[in-house]
Amino acid sequence: MNDQPDKIRRSHPGYRAGSGWNLMLAPRLAHTTAPSARDFDAIVIGAGFTGLAAARRIAQLQPQASVLVVDATTIGDGASGRNSGFLISLPHNTGMAGHGSPAAVARKQIRLYDMGLQWLHGIVTQQAIECDWSPAGKFHAAATKDGERSLRTTLAQYRQWGVGYRELDADALHDAFGTAYYRYGYHSAHSVFVQPAALSRGLADSLPANVHLWEGEPVTGLRGSGPFQVQTASTTLRAGRVIVANNGFATRLGLARDRIFTIYTYAALTPVLAERERAKQGPDSEWGLIPANRLGTTLRKTRDGRLMVRSAYSYQAELPLARVRDMLQDCYRRRYPGMAAHAFEYVWGGATALTRNGALYFGEVRNGLYVSLGCNGAGVLKGTMFGKLLGEMAAGHHSPELSDALGLQRPNWLPPDPIRRIAVVSALKWHKHRAGLER
């Protein structure tokens, strides 16, 4: 990566290590062949969950249209293959505003997520995508009094929204997870587990015939309008419509610079654990636990007998992997001091994009140019659902769901660097301090 021109390097993340989820899978032949054409009806920049959904939906609604999806990385090793694999069908940002009462807006979001989940499950079923799809729900757990108060506040919102849940005290949590680390929690059915790299691969490799996928080709520039000129590392492409779905790296193309910023978060997977070691993590073969504080530690026990540990954030740049490994091992050891070992087989970082108020940057920014950016760490289902709607918008298809999405709150303005850097880094330090033992 270091021998690439600077403009190309800055157009996408240069990760220090491959995604563990992707490395566990069989090798895949990437679609790195350039298209013979240079002109398309639509070009999608970014082959994550959002971009793949947008391309699929355009191709479905307009089967005669030529669609190109271009991505700087290879499928499964980009951001979509680096997350925790939770498909959460509840609002990620519970303070999200819009037109109407907070409870009415939340119910509107839930309806959108349910629609997206049904659409995605239909694709997984129809295309026989092997991605360990499991509607097991999710746990939230608190290790501190402040964390417990936060979870109880969320449950008050659940009651307003009409969402069911099951509360667990410290003993019930110990029985479920095999650790005495947590004092209070709850379970909600509104989540599905997947192997995220397998899902990403399956969606990419089952795109309709009128979609050309081009991997490993960074987009370095975007200019013009009707047609647009899309500059890549090796050529110039043209299209009447462009969909930008490369999250925080859209700022390198001149978009959303005052609305979104990129952070890195980190995860690790253990080797397959011996049966006696798995039993120390509770009787269930699979579960997922989300912390009470956003900068806390997420855990996931996978059906193949591993434990995933996710924690920590950094602004704009990836931390050294040795430091990441030490941090994640500390999180693991504090929760499970009695394990025979706290070794990881895979450790990696992943980029995501945040907005100041948690809102998505979504819609048509000028004639023929469509964006869905700033997933705020909930990209699998949220990205899929908004990508589907963005594809419909680009194809001229209108629906009540699209109207609902366009009616949600927009991202707040962000100051430029260095003020932004100082503010974000300070906020991360403050939230890390507040998280305390939730980390």
Query: Quick check: is 160 in a domain?
Result: no
| CA–CA gap between residue 361 and residue 70 (Å, rounded) | 20
Number of H helices, E strands in the chain: 12, 18
Contact 222, 229 (CB under 8 A): yes
Residue 340's closest CA among 416, 250, 270, 389?
A: 270
Contact 133, 194 (CB under 8 A): yes
Query: Quick check: is 104 in a domain?
Result: no
Query: Quick check: is 154 in a domain?
Result: no
pTM confidence score:
0.95
Q: What's the number of domains the chain is made of?
A: 1
> Locate tokens 């394990």: which residue?
339
pLDDT of amino acid 432: 84
pLDDT of amino acid 165: 98
Query: Quick check: is 301 in a domain?
Result: no
The DSSP call for residue 358 is S
Query: Quick check: is 381 in a domain?
Result: yes
pLDDT tens sequence across 374-427: 988 788 999 999 999 999 999 999 999 999 999 998 999 999 999 999 999 998
The DSSP call for residue 249 is G
Query: Quick check: is 216 in a domain?
Result: yes
Query: Quick check: is 418 in a domain?
Result: yes
| CA–CA gap between residue 363 and residue 372 (Å, rounded) | 7
pLDDT of amino acid 12: 66
Query: Quick check: is 175 in a domain?
Result: no
pLDDT of amino acid 94: 45
Length of the chain: 439
- Could you count the other beta carbons within 10 Å of the beta carbon of residue 27? 6
**Alpha-carbon Rg of the chain, whole angstroms?**
21
Helices marked H in 92-195:
102-126, 145-161, 170-177
Please tell me whether the peptide bond between 227 and the residue prior to it is cis, using omega within 30 degrees of 0: yes
pLDDT of amino acid 378: 81
Provide the CATH number for the domain around residue 238: 3.50.50.60
Parent domain of 247:
6-86+197-260+356-426
pLDDT of amino acid 196: 97
Low-confidence ranges of the chain (pLDDT < 70): 1-12, 92-100
In DSSP terms, which residues pair with 289 in a beta bridge?
A: 139, 299
